Structure 1
Amino acid sequence: MWRSVASNALTLFIVLLIAAAGLLAWGRHQYSGPGPLSAAVCVKVDRGATLSQVSQNLAAKGAISDARIFRIGADYSGKAKGLKYGSYLVPAGASMAEIVDLLTAGGASTCGREVNYRIGVAKAEIVLRETDPATNSLVEVVKFDPAGEVPAVYTEAKEAGDLRWQITLAEGVTSWQVVNALKQADFLSGEVAEVPAEGSLAPDAYDVDANEDRGSLLAKMQAKQKAIIEELWPLRAEGLPYDTPEEAMVMASIVEKETGIAAERPMVASVFVNRLREGMKLQTDPTVIYGITKGEGVLGRGLRASELRRATPYNTYLIEGLPPGPIANPGRLSIEATLHPASSDYLYFVADGTGGHVFAKTLAEHNQNVAKWREIEAQQREQQNAPEGGGN
């Protein structure tokens, strides 16, 4: 009898071992095999979220087949406590193992919504975008002037808290424009004691946190601009007509305001370098405009003859050499162009009607180019004033 009992017990034990092995193999397959998602989804991991909460969210979205297996697998791999806060794009067919790796790797969020506050020369605007899981690309939700009416969709997104924040400074913005725009940013905190020195802020994109201090952010922008000039100044070309990094930044700001085409900047810089070497006045309109506006906003019209004759420290039609300081915050490319200007004999340039400029070596040639530009301006005005539709 005891032999029969022992034999049956052994048989049962073997059956249980086989079943356990089969269950383990099935669990491993469920954890490492392709997942059930037919299309990518965005998954958010809240700050302080537990593995249980995350697994239930994944199961509810159809990203995993079994929340328990997900938790066991994550624990077995030693990653159960490594969840990183953020929003993540889980691709179609992702296995549980791949999802665990995705949620514990850290780094920038790959999904969800982001706010980019673009501070430009002419205007500042807030752009709310969100990830389209189907294409893994950001799609614009709303764009608005922060000084105007705030859209409800932005307010709702801000209250939900699942946002990434970025501030982008355009090349050529003035320090006053930057400070004025930052004061309007409702996602920042803190006061600004004073407007930073003109030219001291680096145009770039800055990742920020909600409620980040405005003063600290400005300090970060200043540190970046300082690092750029300290890197580039020792590598400058020989024989430049400016002796200090400060003078180079003045020239870089002028180059920045004269052309928005990166490829033209070395040539524009060469014109001003040649003028300085020849003892000519710089005669550049952007400096005159800065003398009028002091960088506080945009003039919004052409210069008047009386303004070209008005004596200010920035009127380069009247003063010799460089003005006393930068007229904007130049970007890295303009600084590089200033420190490595093209080799040319050009002393003049004027707009060519395509967004670029045409250059000249002599005043006679320049006057011809100016006459052509006046013709282009006249044609453009006629086209703007022409009535819509055709006629006989």
Structure 2
Amino acid sequence: MKRLGCIILLIGLAVAAFVAFRFVHGWTETGPATRETTIVVPEGATLSAAAVLLKQAGAVRSADAFLTRAKVFGGSMSIKAGEFVIPKGASNSEILSILQGGKVLTRLITIPEGMPSILVHERLMANDQLTGDIPVPEEGSILPDSYAFERGESRTRVVQRMQAAMTKVLADLWAKRSPTAVVKTPREAIILASIVEKETAVAAERPTVAGVYGNRLRTNMMLQADPTIIYPITKGKPLGRRIRKSEIAAVNDYNTYAMTGLPKGPIANPGRLSILAVTQPAQTKALYFVADGTGGHIFADTYQQHNENVRKWFEIRRQRGEL
């Protein structure tokens, strides 16, 4: 009997050791996930709720086993809310570290240079990973760039980051402006930069385009920028057709073919390079520019030179079959 008791005791100890080993090993062994997956932990979710989400995603073998091991080995640090990437084969230990570390999956939304606010609004509203409604942001208040956001983040917060970025960039560039800059206030800089942005996509030309407009403003010439005709019609969206003569002659607060000076507000959200161009314009005598057929422009100091450049541009268009 004594010998039998010893055998039973040894078997019990062996079973206990095996169970203990499996419990510890289960904390660090390769997990069941066969591919990278993501889970979304809602704000205020408990570790128990997260364990269920992990089981549903196939990241752990048992919600209860994960929860028990996490309580034993995981310490007192709480888990974070957000969207998390769980790597293929991640162990229970690695998963808890991800949830506690708060390294949430970030996504990007890109605002191209020159995008008007009405299209910024549409892009934000179309992103189903953002939440909440927003009005159309003030024109010229958004800095074109790529912005990181988390799934479930409010559109309001994203817009606030975009506007804070514009405020900072404008303040920095305004502080370094050239004495030759024609703009007198940061708002004027944004207005003129938005026109420069829409007039040329060639970065190297922007300081010269800004210089041309500066020369025109100083001599009280009309800016005659086509995008300022379109803005009151579409709020910055593409017109989709040629500008009509009646629209060129239309008198409003934006059409620089019917007024001198700057329009009453920006016509798009300009990027850094366009703001830099109007705060540090090129020194030029040019008063005119026209497309050169290669995507850029050719500049002229006199109206006679400009007319010759226009003639060449129309000849290029005729050769292309555009006229």
Scaled to the shorter chain, the TM-score interval is 0.7 to 0.9
C-alpha distance 65-179 of structure 1, shift in aligned 2 (>3 A): closer
Output the CA distance in 1 between the equivalents of 2:30 and 2:312.
66
> What is the aligned partner in structure 2 of residue 388 from structure 1?
none
Output the CA distance in 2 between the equivalents of 1:269 and 1:109.
41
> What is the aligned partner in structure 2 of residue 226 from structure 1?
167
State the TM-score, normalized to the length of structure 2. Answer: 0.74
Cα offsets for 1:275-333 (capped at 9, x unmatched): 4456654232222334x538375544333445444544544345444334333332333
Structure (1/2) with the larger helix percentage = 2
Describe the SS at the equivalent of 1:316.
Answer: coil
Output the CA distance in 2 between the equivalents of 1:49 and 1:93.
24
Output the CA distance in 2 between the equivalents of 1:274 and 1:298.
28
Q: 1:172 aligns with which of 114, 125, 128?
A: 114
> What is the aligned partner in structure 2 of residue 32 from structure 1?
28
C-alpha distance 25-341 of structure 1, shift in aligned 2 (>3 A): farther
Structure 1 unmatched runs, 5+: 115-165, 384-392
Verify the 8 A CA contact 2:289 2:298 in the aligned structure 1: yes
1:99 aligns to 2:95 (yes or no): yes
Q: 2:70 aligns with which of 68, 71, 74?
A: 74
Q: 1:40: Cα distance to partner?
A: 2.2
Q: 1:53: Cα distance to partner?
A: 4.5
State the TM-score, normalized to the length of structure 1. Answer: 0.63
Structure (1/2) with the larger strand percentage = 1
Output the CA distance in 1 between the equivalents of 2:27 and 2:126.
49
1:351 aligns to 2:291 (yes or no): yes
1:334 aligns to 2:278 (yes or no): no
> What is the aligned partner in structure 2 of residue 360 from structure 1?
299
Q: What RMSD in Å do the two structures reach over aligned CA positions?
A: 4.3
> What is the aligned partner in structure 1 of residue 214 from structure 2?
273
**More relative contact order, 1 or 2 (CA 8 Å, 6+ apart):** 2
Q: 1:266: Cα distance to partner?
A: 3.0
Cα offsets for 1:34-76 (capped at 9, x unmatched): 2233322333434554444443453454433444442233112
> What is the aligned partner in structure 1 of residue 132 from structure 2?
188
Structure 2 unmatched runs, 5+: none
1:301 aligns to 2:241 (yes or no): yes
Paired residue total:
319
Verify the 8 A CA contact 2:197 2:271 in the aligned structure 1: yes
Q: Which amino acid aligns with 2:72?
A: Y
Output the CA distance in 2 between the equivalents of 1:324 and 1:381.
37
Verify the 8 A CA contact 2:83 2:150 in the aligned structure 1: no
Cα offsets for 1:76-119 (capped at 9, x unmatched): 23357733334433222222211222233224336xxx8xxxxx
